[in-house]
A and B are shown apart, each in its own frame.
Chain A
Amino acid sequence: MPGGYLLIESRDVFEGPTPFLELARTLAQEKREGPVTLFLVENGVLPTRRCPSSEALSALAKAGVEVLADEFSLKERGIGRERMIPEVKPAALDVVIEHMAAGKKILWH
């Protein structure tokens, strides 16, 4: 199976960085199996609106993780692009299907 990971984070990080986000960072830094993408969905998108907890996501982007956020979840929560941290890109949920079809390892949290 081709390399790379898609990690889907559905939970927010207001209680602090989670082991799942730490896993994303580790996998990206190890470069063992190809690129790592973190796809935020549902309440996972909440920290994309600039706030103290956004740092957890910025740090991941700096560590080489591509961080995407579900456009529908963003709209549902009234998070406009202008309020988002720049390191996170809005994306359609189709991205998950594309990554699945490409054979990435897919993990949900």
Chain B
Amino acid sequence: MPKKILHVVESAYRATLEEQDDTVLWFTHAMKGAGADVTVVLRGNAVNYAVEGQNASGLALGAKKQTQPPTLDADVAKLVSMGVELYYVEEDAKARGLRATDFVSGPKGLAQAELGELFARFDLVFTW
């Protein structure tokens, strides 16, 4: 039985243009593809990753144009479609002016006070 792993993602928009991905969401995707039993919580600024309609296109430095900008909202939706349970901390979303209707379909709101109960369900909790 694989270990139950929880990824708590707080770091947001760190090198996402350079990498053309969020490297933690990407890593989660790769681990899931390799058979991991992994769940994700977005907290802090990372709750913004679930916002539908993000657009990072248009970056050009000199003549070099970025043709594959990150599509973090799609990546969040993709994780959900792969069967990854994905939560966001409601207080962090509210503090950033976000409502559930701002998000792509799939992420579930979780109160800060419920984190302890969530952590108890997992063998390992990794903070990112």
Q: A residues engaging B (CB < 8 A)?
A: 1, 5, 19, 22-23, 26-27, 30, 32-33, 105, 107-109
Contact = CB atoms under 8 A, between A and B. Distances in A.
Contacts, number: 30
B58 to A, nearest CB: 34
Contacts of A5: 119
Contacts of A33: 119-120
Interface of B: 8, 43-44, 112-113, 115-117, 119-120, 122-127
Given A19-B112, A26-B116, A1 B123 contact: yes
Given A19-B43, A19-B112, A105 B127 contact: no
Nearest to B126: A107
A26 B89 CA distance: 15
| Overall SS of chain A's interface | mixed
A95 to B, nearest CB: 19
Contacts of B120: 32-33
Contacts of A22: 112
Contacts of A26: 113, 115-116
A50 B123 CA distance: 36
Nearest to B114: A26
A107 B125 contact: yes
B123 to A, nearest CB: 5
Contact of A108 (B116, B123, B127): B127
